[in-house]
Amino acid sequence: MKEKIYNIVIKILVTLFGRRFVYAIRYYRLRKRWPNFDQPQDLSEYLINKITTNQTHTYAPLADKIEVRQYVASKGLSSILLPHYGYWSNAHDINFDTLPPKFVLKTNNGVDSQNVYICRDKSTFDIPSVCKKLNKALKEKSVYEYHYNLIEPKILCEQLLETQQGTQPTDYKFLCINGKVVDIIATMDRFEHKRSIIMTPDWQYVDRMYHQYIPDTLPPRPNQLQQMINIAQTLSADFDVVRVDLYNPGEKIYFGELTFTPSAGLLDARTTQAITHYATLLRG
C-alpha cells in the first residue's frame, strides 16, 4: 500500500512540476546537494539529463527483453541467450500445458525485478493470480524512464536458471563506460534478501556500496569472469553508458538484459565518490 501511495504522489508531482524537478528533489535527498543536470559533474546527473531530455528514447528496442536478443545475436553471442518458450499480449492466452515444469514469466518492459514470476513447480503455481498480475503489469507506465513506455508490452516465458543447489544464481551487473567495464555489482538472493556488493574487474572489493546492502561474506570469483568481461565490453561497445547483466551458473554464461539508466539514473546503491569517479572516466 505504501508503494502504491508513493507512486501516486510521484505521478502527481511529475504532472505538476515535471520529471526534472522531481528528479532534482530525489537527487538532493540522496546526495545532499542540488544537482546541475545541464553541466553534469557526476554520472547520476549525466544519466538524469539524458532521461529528462528524452535522449534515452533510442534505447527502447534494446531495453525490450525480447527485441534485445537480435542485438546480442548480431554481436555473435547467440550462445548466451536463454531459451524462450513464448510471447503473449494477454496472460490468458498462455497454454501452461505446453510449458516445462519450471520456468520464468515476466514482462518485456519491466524495470529491475518488477513483474517477474518464478515457477519451480507447475503443479503448485498459482496460475490465475499470476495471470491477473501480469495483465495488470502490461498496462503499467514508467513515471521516470519514458523509453520503457515506447516498448510494445508483452509477456515472455524463459528458462529458469538455477544453481546445482536449486537456488537463484548470482546476477553479475557490469557497468560499462565507453565500452569498458568499470565495476561489477554481484547481486545474490535477488528475489528475496537481495544482497549486493561492488567488485573491480579483477575481483577486488570496492567500498562503494551502502553497507546495508552488503552480504556477510564476499562472493567467490565467478568461474568465467574474464569471458563475462569480454562479453560485456562487446555488448557495450556502441554506447557511452550501459549496464550489462550476465549469469554464470556452472560453466555457462547467460545474458540477462541491457540497462541504459541504472537505478533510473540515481545510482542510489553507489556512493557520491563513485559516481563522480565514473563521470571522470566518461569524459576520458
pLDDT above 90 for 193: no
pLDDT above 70 for 190: no
Per the model's pLDDT, the better-predicted residue between 22 and 9 turns out to be 22
- What is the per-residue pLDDT across 240-276, written as a single tens digit (0 to 9) for each? 999 999 999 888 999 999 999 999 999 877 777 788 8
Q: Is residue 62 part of a domain?
A: no
Q: Are residues 128 and 182 in the same domain?
A: no
Q: Supply 207's cell numbers.
A: 567500498
- What is the per-residue pLDDT across 54-82, written as a single tens digit (0 to 9) for each? 999 999 999 999 999 999 999 999 999 99
Q: Is residue 144 part of a domain?
A: yes
Q: Are residues 198 and 111 in the same domain?
A: no
Domain coverage including residue 145: 83-158
Question: For residue 164, what pLDDT is reported?
Answer: 79
Give the pLDDT band of residue 223 (cuts 50, 70, 90). Answer: confident
Q: Are residues 211 and 128 in the same domain?
A: no
Q: Is residue 71 part of a domain?
A: no
Considering 57, 72, 102, which residue would you say is the last residue of a domain?
A: 57
Q: Are residues 173 and 268 in the same domain?
A: yes
Q: Is residue 238 part of a domain?
A: yes
Q: Is residue 96 part of a domain?
A: yes
Give the pLDDT band of residue 212 (cuts 50, 70, 90). Answer: low
26 Rama sector, left if φ>0, alpha if ψ -120 to 50, beta otherwise: alpha
Q: Is residue 65 part of a domain?
A: no
Q: Are residues 184 and 145 in the same domain?
A: no
pLDDT above 70 for 191: no
C-alpha distances out from residue 8 to 11, 15, 85, 140, 143, Å: 5, 11, 35, 12, 10
Give the pLDDT band of residue 194 (cuts 50, 70, 90). Answer: low
First to last CA, the chain: 45
Question: For residue 192, what pLDDT is reported?
Answer: 56
Q: Are residues 273 and 214 in the same domain?
A: yes
Considering 134, 158, 182, which residue would you say is the last residue of a domain?
A: 158
Q: Are residues 232 and 249 in the same domain?
A: yes
Q: Are residues 215 and 243 in the same domain?
A: yes
Residue the block writes with cell 508531482: 13
CB 28 within 8 A of CB 38: no
pLDDT above 80 for 7: no
What is the tally of structural domains in the chain?
3
Q: Are residues 87 and 51 in the same domain?
A: no
Q: Is residue 90 part of a domain?
A: yes
Question: For residue 69, what pLDDT is reported?
Answer: 98
Q: Are residues 172 and 275 in the same domain?
A: yes
Considering 126, 158, 190, which residue would you say is the last residue of a domain?
A: 158
Q: Are residues 111 and 217 in the same domain?
A: no
Averaged pLDDT for residues 11-40: 91
Q: Are residues 45 and 89 in the same domain?
A: no
- What is the per-residue pLDDT across 130-145, written as a single tens digit (0 to 9) for each? 999 999 999 999 988 9
> Residue 178 belongs to a domain with what CATH number?
3.30.470
